[in-house]
Structure 1
Amino acid sequence: MQATDNKIPNVFLKLAYSELLLSFRTEELVPLVQNASISSRKLIENAWQEDEMVNAEDNALIIAGFSNWLLSKGVNLDEFANRMFEKVGHLNSVPKRALLRSYLPYIRDFYEMKDQRQGILRLIEKRNMFRENLIYVEGEIENDRHHDFLVGSGNQINHPMAIYSNWLLRFIQTGPCLLDLPAFENLSIYACEHTAEEALLGRLAGNLDGETFYVSGIAVGKLVKFAECIEKHPMKHDLSQFADKLCVRLDTDVIDTFTGTHLLYKDRYYGAPVAMAEFVYAKDISTKDPFANLISSLVQEEYNVWPPVQKAHDELLHKINHVAEIIYYEADDSISVNGKHLMRNVPARILRNVLREYTKTGREEFENREFKRDPEICIDPVNPNFESRLNRVVDHLAKVSEVMNLNRHRRGGFRFEPHCHIDFHEEPAAIRKPKNKQ
């Protein structure tokens, strides 16, 4: 499988990141981002950019990092998740373009569906929003209520991490709200591919001794064959090949005493060969225009809901990446860095040209002859004297070495070396109106 095949939209990740931005001060979030297993800037871009495609493993890893940090702060993960998923119903903090794009091939189908919520479950695998091995299994209808299943295809080598798996199913349960439909009334998770030890999130010690699973020395579960789960929760999907696989059945709930977070659930099977979740919901629920609110919210977003999240994101990005604001003023032929004057005249024009190209294309290698041919920099083509002017730029940049510098690493050229994120723009000279004659 190619690397691009393992990428998914950042819809769920962005929802979690937005809740973090609204729940904590920027200063509190800086250590979380700086101590991440991937670079700070990559983490923020993965969690923020609209329509960003993220490696599926990184997506789960970042969510796990978020949850571990929340636990270390004494936060109840269940309460945090409740706040996060409540926002789905109001379309806050959700990347709507990615959602609309995932539904685009099926929009006409939704307007013709008698049961649009069942359509959401049916299309999960095709939309590929979360992970590739979720399979929809249609169940029985009892008392006008569907009993449908989502089943993991049994990829235990790279199974989703515990908190990611739980939160993902919660997100799917709330998903119909995005299409102006009620959430699925009931979600029951019967089996997880992650182990009971992984589900403890490092908060408590768990181990299997013989056929008994212990948490902090107390027996809480048993090693059983997966056939037991299959018999308890029959479905129209053949799982007989997994019947003899061993997994741990929990016989009591396990709660983290410090945060109150529910870690292990009674009657759930951990370390199972496949994941299994049942959605129970009233049948034949539909809405006249399922995409109206999603599109309307997309249009109105920048005017009301989004600014607080955007502001918090910008503050965190500046803290993490030391963003430098660089302005070239045409009026007096000067450059400032973070509001402080740096240079003017020919040196300012040299740096301006470098920053123009770097901002536009990302190029960092430059040839001296490029500047010698520029009449704004070298008036006399016979005796350009460019090297001395370039030396003045190098000297000036030494004053802001934490932002950028020029490295004259080879004859006839130099390298621009930014040390932080550069926000460069040019301010044109104001057009002066002629005075009226008296």
Structure 2
Amino acid sequence: MLSNLFLQFTHIELLISYPVKDILTLVKRDSRFNVKMLNDIYFEDSFVDESAHRLVMNNVVSWLYERGENPDTFVQRIIDRCAAFEAVPARSVLRSYLPYVSQFYATEDVRQLCLDIIPKRYPLLNESKFLRRELVDGNRKEYFSFRFDSPGVLVTNPMRWFIGLVQIGPILLNTPAYEHIEFKAAQTSFIEALENRATAEMRDDGFIYVSGIKVGKYMTFGDCLSEYGLEWEVEAETKMACIKAIEDVVDEKTGAVLIHKGCYYGCPASVVFLDYKANVVAPEPFNKLMSAVVKQEFDSWQPIQRAQEQLLDAMNDSVTIIYYKSDDSISVNSKHLMRNVPARILRNLLREYTATGREEYENREFKRDPAICMDPLRPNFESRLNRVIAHINGSDDPDKPTEGVKKFFEIERHRRGGFRFVPKCKIIFREE
């Protein structure tokens, strides 16, 4: 599970820049977008898995292209808003920096410290390290390397998002963005970087062509390392083939730069080069963040909150669940789901969830209820819970097919002796 921080920035930018009716066309692109996911993205202290990151980022990029918009411009707007401290999720940001507050007040270079703590703040980066760090004429020139264990799992082309994430760091701590940052090598393949906006053709001469123009050539990762005078510990990886871009490739409709001249694509790791003025220190690096937290206690966050509520309402993503006392049954959106003991288990769970919002439950709570487990010595609750889950999932039996309700909610047996209720939309529960 990963922090939702950068997804928060992305979602807030959508809520500010686009009307709800337009955002609806984005969230309806994929059935996995639901109220729970949008709330997990929006609210502070939430965590989402890597697949959610990929789902959101890839769909946002595709959606922007369909609208004729440049995704790089979208990311730059996020950076610009941070620079103006406009609509910054200040509490979430402040919490992410809390373990390092004392270091930032003691450091001689805020921006270098921002880079130093990247591996700790962003656990999605693996084997992150600096290959070389130099101080030349008052400027720091640094080569930072990292990799994803499974390239493309996080985002098909994470390059623009990574640069945006790195640039935001110092800005939020009251210091300027890095003067220069660029990828020298990327795990992203040449084809992935094209984002289906252009077609690449490999010819027998060892070069890559786009629209008949020679734009890349086959090299090795070792060639990249040699070009920049960098050392690498794993010799076998230096011999791996990659493609060096010899020309920029620009999307004709949006002006987005898909391929960056000089960058090596399809490498075993990414290498980012930063060139920035050394020893930039903010006397009070957290002042603006603290002010933003205070401001958001009043009215500056209300328009964004209203937009979020309008979006959730417009999705019309809710389910009505009724427990009928007369025949000990439960219906979902007026369709019968289960009766007797399974219905009572779900009823008890929904009573608690709708009253308190609680999602984690212990088996023993239900074992003590005589209406569910009549024999305290042999409660057999686990098999009863299995029946509830089976009703929720529906039957795959072609002779007796039933439609489940797991698009609305699920029950996960994620640990021994307990389970989790997973709502995927607004739950309306009552008893009659």
**Which AA in structure 1 matches 2:162?**
L
The question of whether the paired residues in 1 share the 8 Å contact of 2:40 and 2:47 is answered with: yes
The question of whether the paired residues in 2 share the 8 Å contact of 1:321 and 1:420 is answered with: no
Q: Deviations over 1:289-344 (max 9, x none)?
A: 2112112211212434322221111111111134699xxxxxxxxxxxxxxxxxxx
Does residue 266 of the first structure (1) align with residue 271 of the second (2)? Answer: no
Q: 2:223 matched to which residue of 1?
A: 228
Shift of 1:35: 2.1
Q: 2:155 matched to which residue of 1?
A: 161
The answer for unaligned runs of 5 or more in structure 2 is 321-347, 360-365, 373-407, 409-422
> Tell me, what secondary structure is at the counterpart of 2:133?
coil
Does residue 317 of the first structure (1) align with residue 312 of the second (2)? Answer: yes
**Which AA in structure 2 matches 1:307?**
Q
Shift of 1:233: 1.6
Measure, in 1, the Cα distance between the counterparts of 2:260 and 2:72.
Answer: 13
Does residue 149 of the first structure (1) align with residue 154 of the second (2)? Answer: no
Shift of 1:212: 1.9
For the pair shown, the structure with the greater C-alpha radius of gyration is 1
Measure, in 2, the Cα distance between the counterparts of 1:46 and 1:191.
Answer: 33
The question of whether the paired residues in 2 share the 8 Å contact of 1:230 and 1:239 is answered with: no
Measure, in 1, the Cα distance between the counterparts of 2:183 and 2:234.
Answer: 17
Does residue 246 of the first structure (1) align with residue 246 of the second (2)? Answer: no
Does residue 297 of the first structure (1) align with residue 292 of the second (2)? Answer: yes
The question of whether the paired residues in 2 share the 8 Å contact of 1:9 and 1:130 is answered with: no
**Which AA in structure 1 matches 2:284?**
D
- Identity over aligned residues, as a percent? 30
Does residue 90 of the first structure (1) align with residue 84 of the second (2)? Answer: yes
Q: 2:10 matched to which residue of 1?
A: 16
Normalising by structure 2, we get a TM-score of 0.72
**1:203 aligned to 179, 197, 202, which one?**
197
Q: 2:23 matched to which residue of 1?
A: 29
| Mapping of residues 5-404 of structure 1, within 5 Å | 7-36=1-30, 38-128=32-122, 130-153=124-147, 155-158=149-152, 160-210=154-204, 211-235=206-230, 238=233, 240-322=235-317, 357-361=352-356
The question of whether the paired residues in 1 share the 8 Å contact of 2:249 and 2:257 is answered with: yes
The question of whether the paired residues in 2 share the 8 Å contact of 1:206 and 1:214 is answered with: yes
Measure, in 1, the Cα distance between the counterparts of 2:235 and 2:153.
Answer: 20
Shift of 1:174: 3.0
> Tell me, what secondary structure is at the counterpart of 2:158?
helix
**Which AA in structure 2 matches 1:152?**
F
Moved more, 169-178 or 159-168: 159-168
> Tell me, what secondary structure is at the counterpart of 1:221?
strand
**Which AA in structure 1 matches 2:287?**
A
The question of whether the paired residues in 2 share the 8 Å contact of 1:322 and 1:421 is answered with: yes
Q: 1:354 to 1:11 in 2, by over 3 A?
A: closer
Measure, in 2, the Cα distance between the counterparts of 1:63 and 1:419.
Answer: 20
> Tell me, what secondary structure is at the counterpart of 1:139?
strand
Shift of 1:214: 2.2
Measure, in 2, the Cα distance between the counterparts of 1:420 and 1:152.
Answer: 37
Moved more, 184-193 or 169-178: 169-178
The question of whether the paired residues in 2 share the 8 Å contact of 1:135 and 1:153 is answered with: no
The question of whether the paired residues in 1 share the 8 Å contact of 2:141 and 2:275 is answered with: yes
Shift of 1:153: 3.4
Measure, in 2, the Cα distance between the counterparts of 1:204 and 1:152.
Answer: 27
The answer for unaligned runs of 5 or more in structure 1 is 1-6, 326-352, 371-403, 405-417, 426-438
Shift of 1:197: 0.7
Measure, in 2, the Cα distance between the counterparts of 1:213 and 1:323.
Answer: 50
Measure, in 2, the Cα distance between the counterparts of 1:231 and 1:154.
Answer: 23
**1:421 aligned to 413, 422, 426, which one?**
426
The question of whether the paired residues in 1 share the 8 Å contact of 2:140 and 2:274 is answered with: yes
The question of whether the paired residues in 2 share the 8 Å contact of 1:153 and 1:274 is answered with: yes
Shift of 1:255: 0.9
Measure, in 2, the Cα distance between the counterparts of 1:160 and 1:422.
Answer: 30
Q: Deviations over 1:373-403 (max 9, x none)?
A: xxxxxxxxxxxxxxxxxxxxxxxxxxxxxxx
Shift of 1:262: 1.1
Shift of 1:222: 0.6
The question of whether the paired residues in 2 share the 8 Å contact of 1:174 and 1:183 is answered with: yes
Shift of 1:265: 0.9
Q: 1:42 to 1:420 in 2, by over 3 A?
A: closer
> Tell me, what secondary structure is at the counterpart of 1:303?
coil
Normalising by structure 1, we get a TM-score of 0.71
Shift of 1:14: 1.1
Shift of 1:41: 2.0
The question of whether the paired residues in 2 share the 8 Å contact of 1:8 and 1:131 is answered with: no
The question of whether the paired residues in 2 share the 8 Å contact of 1:18 and 1:309 is answered with: yes
RMSD: 3.3
Q: 1:49 to 1:156 in 2, by over 3 A?
A: same
**Which AA in structure 2 matches 1:87?**
R
The question of whether the paired residues in 2 share the 8 Å contact of 1:156 and 1:193 is answered with: no
Shift of 1:145: 0.6
